[in-house]
Structure 1
Amino acid sequence: MVTFKNWKWKAGLVAAVAAITLTGCGGAGGKSGDYPKKPIVVVAPSGAGGGWDKTARSLTKVLSEAKLVDQTMTVENKPGGGGAVFLADYVTQDKKNPYKLFVSSPPILINNLKKEGNSPYGYKDTTPLAQLTKDFGAIVVKADSKYADITALMNALKADPTKITVAGGSAPGSMDHVISILPAYKFGIDPKAVKYVSYDGGGEAIAALLGGNADVIGTDVSSAAEYLKAGKVKVLAVTSAERLSGDFKDIPTLKESGIDAEFTIWRGVFGPKEMTDDQKAYWEKTLKSLNDSDVWKKELQSNSWEPEFRSGDEFNKFLDDQEVLLKDVLTALGMAK
């Protein structure tokens, strides 16, 4: 005979077992055991061939090859406005979607700080997960360009800026634009007088250079590396504090050339604003394991990237500091909002 007391005890036991099982599986609360449970998309907010695209593809390849993520990972290209078009969609439509991440770099700050083409959204509307690498800017011309060094180019720009077309893979006032005009600004040229043409991604900017539609481009070292190796371009200067190694060992820095300018390009991974603590912890652990892996170290070397890892609070603090620095630069260039 089943008494009310026995029934109540058994029902309580069943409920307790169910709760424990649900907790162990992650349940509706999104515990770490429940995530990730479906394919993950990593967005490169640009066209193919640039630094964001290469970072996203290297990231997903190594995470899969090293078996750090069990789920399928794919890359999507979402060009437009130097990342601003994608970010607007992401912040408004994917703020609770932990299965869509994206890679970014200083433009996520610049687009929010600049006066023209301003984005209302920035890194504070996302969850910064980790900085993975650092790169530097490069001033690049075709291999057969008449400009033998950065000083010759700057002198020509100073004499008549309307005769030289400068291009980059992002919108006016964005990272490639800053890289392109920073040497001119420091050389005493009015940055507003420099004719700048923007393309959607570093790959398109280099194509414009090689096709004769631009005289010089400002881009990142990693995007220029394969073209330098192939003998298709000359790199007149890099924005690092000291000379780089490998294929860039003979390229002078801007400072060496008498132009007092430096610019570091960091690249990192971001998620939606409304991630759970467990989801953030999963990526903190996973991306740290990526950074420590030999496969990733080889990937860095093959792309001429330098490692610089920050996660969680450290990455957020770094972005806070970068925001102050870039606001100062844009203000000096007359481009701050």
Structure 2
Amino acid sequence: MKRILLTFLAGTVVASFGNLSVAVAEPTKPECLAGAKPGGGFDLTCRLVANSLLASKEISTPMAVTYMEGGVGAVAYNHVIGKRGKDGNLITAASSGSALLIAQGKFGKYDETAVRWLGALGADYGVLVVSSDSPYKTLGELVEAYKADPNSFAIAGGGAVGSQDWMKGSLLAKAANQEPKKMRYVALEGGGAVLTALEGGHVKVGAGDAAEMAKHHVAGKVRILAVMSDKRLPGELADVPTAKEQGYEIDWPVWRGYYVGKDVSDADYNWWVAAFEKLTKTPEFAKERETRGLFEFTKLGADFDAYVKEDVVRFKALAKDAGM
């Protein structure tokens, strides 16, 4: 009895629901670490949960958002592993880009097994875009034209060689049975620069993300030929077919998720998983996700952990095929 009382007073009571143990007590100092400067994708990912967890009353204490730039998340990854591996208050923002960099060995000596993957709560999706006056109206037409004369196609993306946008372009090259490493890729600073290059006729194809390109597609400034998702996206892009609809196995979800330290207790880990599961069912979260231009994509706990590890394997294969 004394042991139960002491445990209760310490605020770490654990209730068992089936095979899942869930910590009753919420983190006392919730914090989300963004591995970059304020304003980028990691910041967006942290703000998504920081705002909606408080608004939906899943947490009673505001979540702090902190920043640690370097290596597109690599410095934060190494910091969590080396310094805060047991900290159950801390979650860290991640994305499919994190899995891609891990697959390429760009997070240093640590691989995807060095942390506990918590969950993904939203996603954007890759798209292939051409200018509004482009002669190509379908992905099939673009693939055939690329196959006939790959050297005449400059493909622009908002990232360096080996980035997600480069990988999206490589999928076009592969669909045309061409070597991705020979692709004429133009590395630009973000999606805005890609749009400018397309509109100016400097490149023929742009690789980007659906949320960023949608309004320009609707305005008639560019034409999205395919979205890299399993099914059509809602809203402004409902008229745009997927690559799979057009006969090409091209899939690129840009998920937004979180991880915790490897040594975080099962009770703390399961508390976050349960909180995220409840959060995704609230109107407050749905509003935040929509405001931030993300589409529905939820994977939690063990399912997400397995998904990330499968992503890393897939990205390793893509990088090898692309000659990286």
Q: CA deviation at 1:145?
A: 6.3
Q: CA deviation at 1:239?
A: 1.1
Q: How many residues align?
A: 310
Conservation of the 8 A alpha-carbon contact between 1:58 and 1:299: yes
Aligned to 1:179, the other structure's residue is in SS state helix
Does structure 1 residue 41 correspond to structure 2 residue 32? yes
Q: Distance in 2 between matches of 1:91 and 1:270?
A: 11
Q: After superposition, where does 1:1-337 map in structure 2 within 5 Å?
A: 20-21=5-6, 24-26=9-11, 36-43=27-34, 45=36, 48-50=39-41, 52-76=42-66, 78-114=68-104, 117=106, 119-141=108-130, 149-150=138-139, 154=143, 155=145, 159-161=149-151, 164-169=154-159, 171-198=160-187, 204-212=189-197, 215=203, 216-229=205-218, 232-303=221-292, 305-335=294-324
Q: Distance in 2 between matches of 1:233 and 1:75?
A: 36
Q: Distance in 1 between matches of 2:34 and 2:294?
A: 20
Aligned to 1:124, the other structure's residue is in SS state coil
**CA spacing shift, 1:37–1:227, aligned 2, 3 Å:** farther
RMSD over aligned Cα atoms: 3.6
Aligned to 1:307, the other structure's residue is in SS state coil
Q: Distance in 2 between matches of 1:187 and 1:60?
A: 43
Q: Distance in 2 between matches of 1:195 and 1:49?
A: 27
Q: CA deviation at 1:64?
A: 1.7
Normalization by structure 1: what TM-score? Answer: 0.75
Q: Distance in 2 between matches of 1:53 and 1:144?
A: 36
Q: Distance in 2 between matches of 1:67 and 1:266?
A: 25
Conservation of the 8 A alpha-carbon contact between 1:25 and 1:34: no
**CA spacing shift, 1:316–1:22, aligned 2, 3 Å:** closer
**CA spacing shift, 1:279–1:229, aligned 2, 3 Å:** farther
Q: CA deviation at 1:191?
A: 0.7
Unaligned 5+ residue runs, structure 1? 1-15
**CA spacing shift, 1:321–1:144, aligned 2, 3 Å:** same
**CA spacing shift, 1:229–1:150, aligned 2, 3 Å:** same
Q: CA deviation at 1:194?
A: 1.9
Structure that is richer in helix per residue: 1
Q: CA deviation at 1:146?
A: 7.2
**CA spacing shift, 1:260–1:222, aligned 2, 3 Å:** same
Conservation of the 8 A alpha-carbon contact between 1:136 and 1:220: yes
Conservation of the 8 A alpha-carbon contact between 2:132 and 2:223: yes
**CA spacing shift, 1:73–1:219, aligned 2, 3 Å:** farther
1:198-242 alpha-carbon deviations (Å, 9 max, x no partner): 56xxxx411222443973442332333354456554323211233
Aligned to 2:119, the other structure's residue is in SS state strand
Conservation of the 8 A alpha-carbon contact between 2:35 and 2:74: no
Aligned to 2:243, the other structure's residue is in SS state coil
Which residue of 2 is the match for residue 13 of structure 1?
none
Q: CA deviation at 1:147?
A: 6.0
Aligned to 1:88, the other structure's residue is in SS state helix
1:9-66 alpha-carbon deviations (Å, 9 max, x no partner): xxxxxxx69x945751248xxx95775222523415477354x443332222111211
Which deviates further from its counterpart, 66-75 or 32-41? 32-41
**CA spacing shift, 1:163–1:284, aligned 2, 3 Å:** closer
Identity among equivalent positions (%) equals 26
Q: CA deviation at 1:182?
A: 0.7
Q: Structure 2 counterpart of 1:36, which letter?
A: P
Conservation of the 8 A alpha-carbon contact between 1:42 and 1:73: no
